[in-house]
Each structure stands twice: as structure tokens, then as C-alpha cells.
Structure 1
Amino acid sequence: MNPEQEKLLYAKINLETAQIPWKELERFFAGGRIISVDDSVDMIRVAQLMAADDVKAVSDMLEKKEIGKVTDSQARIWSASDALLWAVVVKPWILVQQRKS
């Protein structure tokens, strides 16, 4: 992918990103389709790498625990607090991020 294509994909993903209540995502969590992105990481960049099927970069992020499947305990916390998360779909996954600031 050339730099211009990368910029266009980033912009497209950015437009598809929105805030959503955790309660609306719970059924996808039950299906194992939710990936949590640490708030120190650019979620749009993660989505871009996943969309481009960059296995090495995604594997590196998994290893560094920058991304990972949402745990049961995290899901309970988000459910109890009625959390509002940033989310974007990269089929078959939904990336979510709880921003602290």
C-alpha cells in the first residue's frame, strides 16, 4: 500500500469510528468478536493494520498487550459502569477503546 492509499484508508476508518454504549456491544462480546485497544495506542492505526492484514504488526501488538480480547472481568466492569466506548468495525472484529481523557 502506498502512502496515499494509507492516508485514505486512515481517513475512511476515522469516519467510521463512533462512541457506543458497552451494552450494545455485549452480544458481540459473547461471540468473541471484541478486541480491546489500550488507550495509549491509536485505535484507528490498529484498525488500519488489521484491514491491511499486517499479521506481523498485529502480532507484535498482541504480544505487547496493546490489544487483546476483552476479558470477562473487563466486560463486567463496563457493564456495571454503563461505559461509553469508542468503537470501529474491522470485520469480523469490533475494536473498542475506553479513553481516559
Structure 2
Amino acid sequence: MRQAYHSQTARIRWHALQTHYAGGRVVAVAPGANLVDVAVQLGMDNTDAFSAWIEAGIVSAVDEAQALAWFEVDAELWAVVAAPWVLVQPAVSEKPSLEQRANESP
């Protein structure tokens, strides 16, 4: 599962995600957390991991202020689909490592 999500991870501009955002399906993953690991845990329906990440601020809904900021600059993000969700993370580094783990992963 990890390799499948990793191979589907790509950079995308925020404008291309507007339909998904409007549908409430975009989830923000904090910089430093591993996007692939979050997708895997979502795919496995690991509610314990997600509860911990939400509480720690590692995973959150994209709020209106963030969406507007990204829209104004058509931000480039890393994204991976864990249907029906699209997980996004600011593209400040190279493709997330397959081996890297999310911060404080339960």
C-alpha cells in the first residue's frame, strides 16, 4: 500500500484542486509529516493515528484563510489521493521519502 501511494504522489497547483476543496475533500498535512504515511493510515482507517495527528495539528481540514492564501499565489503542493480525500502539503522539498515516517506516528 505504501508503494502505491508513494508512486501516486505528485506536485499540483492549488487552482487544480478547487473542485475537491469545494467538495470538502482536501486535507492538509503539516510540513515535516510524511504525506505517504498519512495516506497509508487513512487507507487503513487508522482512527487512533488520525486522532493523534489532528490533536497535534499535523492533519487538519483546509480552512478558508489557508485556501485563500494558496489561491492567491496558486501554491504548489504535494498531493496524494486516498479516496475520497486529497491529502496536500506545501511543496517545500523533494518528493516525500518512502521510508520517512509522520511526526510522532502512533
TM-score, structure 2 as length reference = 0.84
The equivalent residue for 1:86 is 78
| Aligned ranges 1:1-101 → 2 under 5 Å | 9-101=1-93
Q: In 2, Cα distance between the equivalents of 1:43 and 1:63?
A: 17
- In structure 2, runs of 5+ residues without a counterpart are 94-106
Aligned-pair identity in percent equals 35
| CA deviation string 1:52-76 (max 9, x = no partner) | 1111011110111101000101111
Cα root mean square deviation, aligned: 0.9
TM-score, structure 1 as length reference = 0.88
More helix by share: 1
The equivalent residue for 2:103 is none
- In structure 1, runs of 5+ residues without a counterpart are 1-8
Max Rg structure: 1
Structure 1 residue runs of 4 or more that deviate by more than 3 Å after TM superposition:
none
